Amino acid sequence: MSQIKVVSFDAEGTLVTPDFSQAIWYQGIPSLYASRRGIGFEQARAMVEKEYREVGDQRREWYDIKYWFRRFGLGDYRDLLEEHKHKVSYYQDVMEVLSSLGNDYTLIVVSSSTREFLPYLLVGIEGYFARIFSSISDYDQLKSPAFYLKVCQEMGVRPQEIAHVGDSWQFDFIAARDAGIKAFHLDRGGYAKNEDSLKSLADLELRLSAR
């Protein structure tokens, strides 16, 4: 894959485990909601999750912690992020792959996570990346072919000169592929959907070096 100049990574589920975000959305926010309403945690969690489902992950608000804190009347979100920052962790293959690929490619992050989350998610690896893009915070949209083309423009490269990897079939694989980017779908469970599915980031390094 000699024409590839830039390798793009999704953040959560690709580089970063879901532990931090899961703690925020399904423990921290329900706990605050329970205290605010004077109800038990399990009842609060059920009510909060119902609200999440009503919005759904096809809307940008789903990813926006400021939106949810306003909707639930919870005040300032920053203390909650600080409280759970110790839960940020990276997959075992991340450091080695970033160190290796960084010798041959420009590395970037292209994520749906907001600017509020990204400093926490990337705190131990941010130095590997030339640019960090948030589709929600920077472009007010979900990942789409149009968004990926904007990333290409910002990086000064053609779509075929970028490889992108992420764990979302819709937002990382299909959307990037439809923009003309060489897309890889990362499924760490090993359930390959097609020839461009990967079981690990080590597989990405092998694919890039083989072409």
pLDDT at 122: 97
- Is residue 191 within 8 Å of residue 169, measured between CB atoms? no
Per-residue model confidence as pLDDT tens digits over 82-103:
999 999 999 999 999 999 999 9
Separation between Cα atoms, residue 117 and residue 94, nearest integer Å:
19
Task: Please state whether the predicted TM-score (pTM) of the whole model is above 0.85.
Answer: yes
pLDDT at 192: 65
- Residue 164 CB contacts under 8 Å (≥ 6 apart), including other chains: 7, 8, 9, 10, 110, 148, 172, 176, 181, 182, 183, 184
Query: CA 151 → CA 31, 109, 147, 205, distances in Å?
Result: 37, 10, 6, 22
